[in-house]
Amino acid sequence: MSEVLRLPKGFKASSLEVGVRYEGRLDVGLIASDPPAAAAACFTENAIKAAPVRIGIERFLEKMGQVELSALIVNSGNANACTGRQGLESTQLILDALSSALGVSGDQVLMSSTGVIGEPLPHEKIIRAIPGLVDGLSEEGLLGVAQAILTTDTREKVVSRKIAMERGEATMVGIAKGAGMIAPKMAAPHATMLAFILTDAAVEHETLQRLLSMAVDASFNRITVDGDTSTNDTVFLLANGASGTAPLDMASGPDLERFKEALFGVSKELARMIVRDGEGATKVVEIVVRGGWSLEEARDCAVAIANSPLVKTAFFGEDPNWGRIVAAAGKAGHPLIEEALTLWIGDVLLVTNGEFQGKDQEARAHEVMKRDEFTVTLEIGTGDYQYSMLTTDLTKDYVSINADYRS
């Protein structure tokens, strides 16, 4: 575990129990970089955005994407969303206190929040904790931050990679939180799920943002637990260049490909961890839709299946109710042809050209669905495009967790 948690060069982290909402748990974390890091970000596309998201988007627009960050501060227990002007002022007061304590420019610090929506953020508690957070910064502090960002999660989510380059080795580490309110829709920068990816590679700003947007599209934007897009979803990618490796841009050849492979790997692994830790979930299911006449058709059908409560409860019941699956695809708004549909659960062929293959195949599919992880593949037979989503089953525990969330 110590290898996974080793921070890239130039980064330090710390965390504290502040009492934002709960007692007896870490709830505020700080990540700092010296030298300042080139930053890329993807923020939620929900029309209702939390205060720190609004400030983050404004910062990236003001700087035309040329953002450098010395620190990120994050809290759990309170999303600081739907809090109006007061929420923006609370965030700014925290950022002002942080930049002062670190001795850096105010435009080099940003914030993320996660937790209950609609309640004022107790910013005074966080501001009082900032000196202790700064004093506690260390190269071993990442696990504490990974714990401090959790809400209904049951475990930390941490991934690391080493990147061999022509002029040495770079490190990449990512942490994330997310268990419910998970159906991220993130754009750049205009993505409750939070992820922070740190690297000591040197990457030009435009390249960093382009690669992050691609990675988010291939990972976090392809997961769902309950179909609800959060007000706070955010992914940050920070690259401070402290490794001494050659700076990367879109023409950097093999080094760029190695960096891209690491970034996609970290993002996909973190995204899968989020689904695996979905609220009340007992299963991780990959939905693959093949043979779409467009990427949009394949994507819309996959999303409709992945978010269908009827399909997800069938997964929980280990019931190969294929009618629910094709019906969910059919409501996606595209002209599917029933006679062209072919469906597999795992490697069991359940439907061919719209025709059920019988009870023996259904029994085999039921055995597949007893696994913790399996794949559902729907061939819609209209073209050559494919799209996949990761989803969970929908359980009684999910209902209980969310019914009691604010109590």
pLDDT score recorded for residue 127 = 98
| pLDDT for residue 4 is more than 80 | no
Stretch 194-199: mean pLDDT, rounded? 97
Indicate the CATH number for domain 11-276.
Answer: 3.60.70.12
| pLDDT for residue 184 is more than 90 | no
Q: Which residue from 189, 205, 211, 214 is spatially nearest to 241, judged by alpha carbons?
A: 205
Q: Which of 197-201, 340-344, 391-395 has the lowest mean pLDDT?
A: 391-395
pLDDT score recorded for residue 398 = 83
Q: Are strands 68-75 and 109-113 parallel, antiparallel or unpaired?
A: parallel
pLDDT score recorded for residue 407 = 47
Distances from the Cα of 9 to the Cαs of 198, 244, 305, in angstroms?
10, 10, 43
Residues labelled catalytic: 192
Write phi, then psi, for 105 (nearest 5 degrees). -65, 145
Q: Which of 87-96, 147-156, 179-188, 192-201 has the lowest mean pLDDT?
A: 179-188
- pLDDT averaged over the chain? 93
Q: Which of 184-193, 220-229, 368-377 has the lowest mean pLDDT?
A: 184-193
Using pLDDT thresholds of 50, 70 and 90, give the confidence band for residue 185. low
pLDDT score recorded for residue 362 = 98
| pLDDT for residue 190 is more than 90 | no
| pLDDT for residue 186 is more than 60 | no
pLDDT score recorded for residue 12 = 98
Is-above-0.75 flag for pTM?
Answer: yes
| pLDDT for residue 307 is more than 80 | yes
Structure tokens at 394: 């929908």
Q: Which residue from 41, 8, 216, 17 is spatially nearest to 112, judged by alpha carbons?
A: 41
Residue ranges of the chain that CATH labels 3.60.70.12: 11-276
**Angle at the Cα of 55 from the Cα atoms of 50 and 59, rounded to 5 degrees:** 150
- HSE-CB for 308 with a 13 A CA cutoff: 25
Distances from the Cα of 396 to the Cαs of 27, 280, 316, 325, 393, in angstroms?
28, 7, 9, 21, 10
Helical residues (DSSP H) of 114-192, grouped into ranges: 123-135, 142-148
Q: Model confidence over 43-71: pLDDT tens digits?
A: 998 999 999 999 999 999 999 999 999 99
Between 51 and 403, whose confidence is greater?
51
Residue ranges of the chain that CATH labels 3.10.20.340: 284-403
Indicate the CATH number for domain 284-403.
Answer: 3.10.20.340
Using pLDDT thresholds of 50, 70 and 90, give the confidence band for residue 191. very low
pLDDT score recorded for residue 227 = 73
Stretch 288-294: mean pLDDT, rounded? 97
Q: Which of 2-11, 288-297, 341-350 has the lowest mean pLDDT?
A: 2-11
User: What's the rounded Cα separation, in Å, for the pair 407 and 397?
Assistant: 16
